[in-house]
Structure 1
């Protein structure tokens, strides 16, 4: 889990909460709201094995995820340059674009639910040439139901004497049923552009979901506990240890790589774990690790194997 949050992500989360709270409280959604039912184009695979946290992945059974998972987020050299616009939740990946939200089965790569913007996105995902402002969906409980949420900045065409207007659309997917919904709210220009703003500087910090935050800053990696006590720091010249490139942090483990290949470290001690993960996942949960395939722009979900 990333701790550094851009203004855009905070704004999107706030808008999502505000719109859903209004709907949960009995206020009707906007007239152009719509529901989306789960797509069942193919039967799902048997439930995948879960490892919490995983230390190995089956590289023979990877499945490709939709292009929206990496579009505009990968360098020409084939490395991830920006946080990916996805959130893992159990056996499902929720993938956001500037004009869509998808729920994807990690075991099969099948799109279980697909919601597209009701209006024209200000930056359509298939026309992005200079980066992708989409950020990871937010998962939160609203009115007792866990929802994956993504906001789109769109333009509703005017009619007659009514001018075009800026609209924030909120797409939600119920994580239990896969049912999707859409809501819209008018927005002024300044606020609208803030929703998808990118920014932030300094250390890139990720909480492991338990009790440790791991940060990278200017070539170093360090960890602090929830009491702000520094636990360890790399590089450590005295012990001849180098700092890895951190790709993910989850449930007590740091995933990354060095010149020697993929590595896993213990979040509390910084010690190398005796594991051969095979990949340095960009995102991970108990069911899968996600990594680029052969330095291409294809993100593959590799099932957890140990």
Structure 2
């Protein structure tokens, strides 16, 4: 990858192209520390009258005007078998913001145009071009789209190296980059020095956990921090080493923290404004954590004082157990809140939905009669479950009832914002954006 430089002329064309199609984002040269680069096509492939339309909970996607996203969208996460790790993509009004270990790439999902690259202040610990052909090793995680001060920002994080000087040693630092979606430029960045990473944490590991009020919770090298959006400074640092995958549920940060001996991980709840611990779940040696709803989380692992090792549904604010699920059921796997009332969990060949507040099961697939198969879930969003079956391809299921609502959606998206859905092209497996249909 080449270092980015300001390219006003090329970026201006991207601005015109995306504005013409109504995508609501554009490219520009860097502001503050870092910059952007890229050149665009002479204009959008779609006519201005063919403006973009948002569908809150799309059930169908158009496959005739697909836009292939940059290689960074799938690098290190996609194999012949499909997506192996979550794609590091956030969408805003049809524009893809792709996190990289060495920056942030902006690409229209609606018209063909060359991407714009936002670069960090420091030399990144790893670069996209150095990942190689093997799946894994891409430390970039999905950015966060948020509103602040009347501006829509995309927040992404990466780890860079601060060089030493004289007798002062160099050190790693987490950089939180804020990109202005209306300009396609870096609005600002905040830097947090990192202590030496724990041996169990992957080099370059970083992510934006979420936002609570005026505080953004970020993680780098297993260390959790709170950064104030107004001052752009670190306001707290949580003690200990955390496993990747902390979540924000309600007004609580819930994470998996290593014991002092480094053998087990405990589920802990932290105040997002101060980083102070509110509670800890001592019984569970946790392996996985998911946000189950506005006020609950699902944690799975080994329950030390119980014969049943089923996952626990916990109240995020207090840490109290709401329900323990039976062992080897869907909550032992990956769970996702549908944004309405249920959390949908997948484990081996099972898919099931549970009430987000009580944990009561709503439905499960495959059904007892053996007439319906469990889809391979790609996305849970706005009351819908998107996925594929080996026999019939893409399908959309109602998250509350488990009934099929669309059997020919066109694609099974991994990411969607109501403007476009992002999936793998059928033959090439390229990460591709598809317009939504009403």
TM-score band, normalised by the shorter chain?
0.7 to 0.9
How far has the Cα of 1:99 moved from its partner?
1.1
Counterparts of 1:154 and 1:35 in 2: how far apart (Å)? Answer: 13
Pick aligned residue for 1:170 from 160, 176, 183:
176
Pick aligned residue for 1:221 from 342, 351, 360:
351
Larger deviation: 103-112 or 166-175? 103-112
| Root mean square deviation of aligned Cα | 2.7
Is structure 2 residue 358 aligned with structure 1 residue 230?
no
Pick aligned residue for 1:125 from 123, 128, 133:
128
DSSP-derived class of the 2:78 partner: coil
Q: Normalized against structure 1, the TM-score is what?
A: 0.80
Counterparts of 2:409 and 2:385 in 1: how far apart (Å)? Answer: 12
Tell me if structure 2 keeps the 8 A contact 1:79–1:295.
no
2:381 alignment partner in structure 1: 250
Tell me if structure 2 keeps the 8 A contact 1:70–1:297.
no
How far has the Cα of 1:37 moved from its partner?
7.1
How far has the Cα of 1:272 moved from its partner?
0.8
Counterparts of 2:406 and 2:131 in 1: how far apart (Å)? Answer: 42
* Structure 1: tracts of 5 or more residues without a match: 1-31
What is the correspondence of 1:277-288 to structure 2 with a 5 Å cutoff? 277-288=409-420
Pick aligned residue for 1:188 from 183, 188, 195:
195
Greater RCO, 1 or 2 (C-alpha within 8 Å, sep 6+): 1
How far has the Cα of 1:237 moved from its partner?
2.1
* Structure 2: tracts of 5 or more residues without a match: 1-30, 199-219, 224-241, 246-286, 289-331
CA displacement, residues 86-131 of structure 1 (integer Å, 9 cap, x when unaligned): 1122222221011111232210253565311222221222111442
Counterparts of 1:156 and 1:288 in 2: how far apart (Å)? Answer: 38
How far has the Cα of 1:41 moved from its partner?
4.0
Pick aligned residue for 1:138 from 128, 139, 144:
144
What is the correspondence of 1:21-100 to structure 2 with a 5 Å cutoff? 33-34=32-33, 36=35, 41=40, 43=43, 46=48, 47-75=51-79, 77-100=80-103
Structure with higher helix content: 1
Pick aligned residue for 2:424 from 292, 296, 299:
292
Pick aligned residue for 2:394 from 262, 274, 287:
262
Q: Normalized against structure 2, the TM-score is what?
A: 0.57
Structure with higher strand content: 2
Larger Rg, first or second structure (1 or 2):
2
